[in-house]
Amino acid sequence: MKVATWNVNSIRTRLNIVTDWLQQRQVDVLCLQETKVQDHDFPRSPFEDLGYKVYISGQKSYNGVALFSLKPLDDVSCGFSPIVGEVGDLDVQKRVISGIANGVRIVNLYVPNGSAIASEKYEYKLAWLKMLKQYLQALQTQEPEICVCGDFNIALEDKDIYTNKARDKHIMSSPVEREALNQVLELGFQDAFRKFSDESEYSWWDYRSGGFARNRGWRIDHHYLTDKLYQQATKCWIDVEPRKLEKPSDHAPVVVEF
């Protein structure tokens, strides 16, 4: 099975790029983040015409996640609350969608950015990651095999960033954020990309200052797998080709095969 994650930074803006990519790569499941569209306005038909079942959880102008699958998904749910109950304001932003494909629970996430260290948005991000741990713990009692993927807005290792300048003081690489994500991974999840590469490769490049042309990137889009899936993984790679196109997303898709 081939599963891809991609922050598309507006599905309507990137519609042709995504449909062209799907025709080339023919992944079984595509997990999208930052779709930035309400459900009733989501452009479903171009993907349905390619044979994909479409599952969405979106909102106007911000956030939004979606799953495309060549086969119908089982037990699709949106947000934390269907699994863990009341979560306060942590489901107001549409950032979580999951479903079961071929016996594997696919969890698609758009982790909050956090804006700036010590800001309210930073505290929200940390609270969100704490809830993510509870959510995945609950899922593990139901589903033995889980693939957690998406835009995590965290570069977990120093080699996931193009520069070593002020890493500890930068959003997406602060020690507190990294520790919060490591607490989640301690549930038994492993980084699929690092099974196949120890190199500094990136999945996001800032639009500003020629970030992509200068390869000033960050690896913040991840696939984390439970042990059996991790052992079964045969490939995980970052497809930089869509980032070279005109008016691309600032993220590249990341694909895992198992």
pLDDT digits (tens, 9 = 90+) for 111-137: 999 999 999 999 999 999 999 999 999
Domains of the chain by range and CATH?
2-257 (3.60.10.10)
- Inter-residue contact 21 to 46 (CB < 8 Å): no
Give the residue numbers marked as catalytic: 110, 151
pLDDT of residue 166: 84
For residue 224, the Cα-to-chain-centroid distance in whole angstroms is 10
The CA distance from 54 to 91, in Å, is 21
Supply the mean pLDDT for the chain: 97
What confidence score (pLDDT) does residue 167 get? Answer: 87
Q: What is the pLDDT of residue 237?
A: 98
Centre a 10 Å sphere on the Cβ of residue 234 and count the other Cβ atoms it contains.
10
Give Rg (Cα) of the chain. 17
Q: Quote the pLDDT of residue 148.
A: 98
